[in-house]
Amino acid sequence: MKYLDVIGLQKLQAFVRSVDVGDYCVEGILEAYSCKLAGSDKKLSRSLDQEVAQDLSVSPEGVVLSASPVGPLTEAGSRRTLIYLLLTMQHIYPDYDFSLLRAHNFSKEKGPERVKANVDTLLLETTKAWANENGGGLSFLEQLWSAV
């Protein structure tokens, strides 16, 4: 995976690194990565794919592991989604080891609208701080969703 320098995220990224909203401080990371595997990512991807396949083979009829938040792990696309999640977290937080996480450690959202609504709610105070610091124009959330 490769870090993508998305111009629309730069100012937002600088802002969310540390936002004091009064009762608490928001510390966030806004980064974009490609899903093209290279170098050590390919090796880790193959290793994780083999581990999941091994887990499926010892599970009774693969029932327990086949249904997961990322989709049925019997399908390569679902395993790839899990691997992309793990690799992305590994790139963002290189000091941590996410290799033991599996599909059951994640939850599936009901849809993109629900995710957007949750993010909008969680970042409400951040949006207010953005408006205080940056004045008029597009709101923090408008710029965020435009960049995404």
Residues 42 and 103 in one domain: yes
Residue 86 CB neighbour total at 10 angstroms: 21
CA distance 31 to 6: 8
Q: What percent of the chain has pLDDT over 90?
A: 30
- Cβ atoms of 19 and 129 closer than 8 Å: yes
Domain with 20, as residue range(s), is 1-34+111-148
Quote the CA–CA distance of 143 and 48 in Å, as a whole number. 35
Same domain, 91 and 61: yes
**99 and 69 within one domain:** yes
CA distances from 51 to 9, 35, 46, 65, 74 (A): 35, 20, 9, 12, 12
Rg of the chain's alpha carbons, rounded to an integer?
18
In this prediction, residues 6-33 reach a mean pLDDT of 91
C-beta atoms surrounding 106 within 10 Å: 15
Q: Are 98 and 51 within one domain?
A: yes
- What are the C-alpha distances in Å from 1 to residues 35, 44, 46, 95, 121? 5, 11, 14, 17, 30
Task: Assess whether 43 and 104 both reside in one domain.
Answer: yes
**Count of domains observed in the chain:** 2
Answering whether pTM is above 0.85, one says no
Report whether pLDDT(121) > 80: yes
pLDDT for 113: 94
| Average confidence (pLDDT) over 106-113 | 90
Q: Are residues 64 and 119 in the same domain?
A: no
- 64/126 same-domain check: no
Same domain, 9 and 29: yes
Shared domain check, 45 and 104: yes
Coil, helix or strand at residue 106:
coil
Average pLDDT over every residue of 98-117: 89
- Residues 59-106: pLDDT tens digits? 665 555 557 888 888 888 888 888 888 888 988 899 998 878 888 899
